[in-house]
Amino acid sequence: MALIRNNFPSLPTTFSRFFDDVFTRDVFDWGNGNFSQTNTTLPAVNIVENNNEFLVEMAAPGMNKKDFRIELENEMLKISSEKEMKNEVKDDERYTRREFSYQAFTRSFHLPKTVVDEAKIQARYEDGVLRIMIPKKEEAKVLPPRKIEVK
């Protein structure tokens, strides 16, 4: 039996992520605006739609609400964070293993002006999940069926 070195350990993951993004595009255009500056995994995102709003849920445990930067510019919702590791070392301590590191990411979503009410977007962070509520405009909401009288 021979051991073969894998020079492309993340290739299946990259292909999988690419095809997931290509085939699951919806109202939110993923584009090339989703990246991690530290080559680590991006926070996982769920996008839920109902008749009144879109809800973006981002799993980001261990962060504080002040760590997030959420901006809206030209129909692009950009969620980013940058958190540096504390380098404080006490005289009586030494690390035998140190895996905490600098973290940074950016996720971007296209929000069509014809669908979302940009002025009413709200965000909340609790229990390790960032929730962004994006209300729909009245004209974009699905109306219930209406009975039309025949005369």
List average pLDDT for each run of 10 residues in the chain, which is 151 residues long: 56 55 51 51 88 93 90 92 74 75 85 90 96 92 89 92
Give tens-digit pLDDT for 16-47: 555 555 455 555 554 545 554 545 568 899 99
How far apart, in Å, are the Cα atoms of 40 and each of 34, 35, 99, 110, 135?
12, 9, 13, 23, 31
The verdict on residue 150 lying in a domain is no
Q: State how far Cα 97 lies from the chain centre.
A: 30
Is residue 97 situated within a structural domain? no
Could you tell me the CATH number of the domain that includes residue 133? 2.60.40.790
- Is the model's pTM score more than 0.95? no
Q: Which domain does 123 fall in, by range?
A: 26-84+112-142
Q: How many domains does the chain have?
A: 1
